[in-house]
Chains A and B, each alone.
Chain A
Amino acid sequence: ETGVTQTPRHLVMGMTNKKSLKCEQHLGHNAMYWYKQSAKKPLELMFVYNFKEQTENNSVPSRFSPECPNSSHLFLHLHTLQPEDSALYLCASSQGNTDTQYFGPGTRLTVL
């Protein structure tokens, strides 16, 4: 089974919509991450969760709201986004601070 899965793979939403991105890891890892990859900036870390607790918020606007109900699932709730939020949103997981991060395929988000 694929290690890290993300749904949906593609999402188009209006600025007033509310949507959620889902990530699931089947690797038994304890840490999960959200990254944003846009055309004009390097891949950047958004949030880190370790054993379901958020340990990093990289100055992300409040219109992005993460949720980690357990070590295997991670959500990113989206509301009142801006067109500049259009990007590839990647989820990753790892066992610990010396272990490799495994990335999902990403959700391609377009905000109209």
Chain B
Amino acid sequence: TQLLEQSPQFLSIQEGENLTVYCNSSSVFSSLQWYRQEPGEGPVLLVTVVTGGEVKKLKRLTFQFGDARKDSSLHITAAQPGDTGLYLCAFDSPQQNTGTASKLTFGTGTRLQVTL
């Protein structure tokens, strides 16, 4: 069973601070996805990383895929209260039989709270 462990589990920081959250596994993935889930909402896809060593930026968010494609990190610069939420990494296993639906497996999540 492929598992995704995320750390830290909880993080409470003040506005303006930087932070990094991690997504680790012993398995190799063809790609990893990062989601943010705000209170009362479903997860929303932020980015997909595909190539080992890849770095993607989304405004103040920087995503990195490990060289061995077993882990990924998310770094937030100058956090804002709007960044508050649950950050989830996930990998996708396209269904073998049908080939036309996917099967997401999610990590344990990091709950981030940014206060003024």
Contacting pair B42 A55 (CB below 8 A): no
Contacting pair B106 A97 (CB below 8 A): no
CB distance from A32 to the nearest CB of B (A): 9
The number of inter-chain residue pairs (CB within 8 angstroms) is 72
- Main SS at interface, chain B: loop
On chain A, the number of residues with a Cβ less than 8 Å from chain B's Cβ atoms is 28
Inside 8 A of A94's CB, which chain B residues have their CB? 101-102
CB distance from B3 to the nearest CB of A (A): 9
Is B53 part of the contact surface with A, judged by Cβ < 8 Å? Answer: no
Contacting pair B102 A97 (CB below 8 A): yes
Contacting pair A43 B101 (CB below 8 A): no
Contacting pair A105 B42 (CB below 8 A): yes
CB distance from A41 to the nearest CB of B (A): 9
Inside 8 A of A99's CB, which chain B residues have their CB? 102
Is B94 part of the contact surface with A, judged by Cβ < 8 Å? Answer: yes
Contacting pair A50 B100 (CB below 8 A): yes
Q: Among the interface residues B44, B102, B104, which one has the most CB atoms of the partner chain A within 10 A?
A: B102
Q: What is the bound-complex CA distance between A45 and B76, given in angstroms? A: 28
Is B43 part of the contact surface with A, judged by Cβ < 8 Å? Answer: yes
Inside 8 A of A45's CB, which chain B residues have their CB? 103-105
Other-chain residue from B40, B98, B102, B105 in contact with A101 (beta carbon distance below 8 A)? B102
Knowing A42-B109, A50-B98, A55-B97 are in contact, say whether A103-B104 is a contact too (CB < 8 A). Answer: no
Is A92 part of the contact surface with B, judged by Cβ < 8 Å? Answer: yes
Contacting pair A4 B101 (CB below 8 A): no
Contacting pair B42 A104 (CB below 8 A): yes
Closest to B106 in A: A43
Contacting pair A4 B95 (CB below 8 A): no
Contacting pair A48 B43 (CB below 8 A): no
Residues on B facing A (Cβ under 8 Å): 4, 40-45, 88, 92, 94-95, 97-109
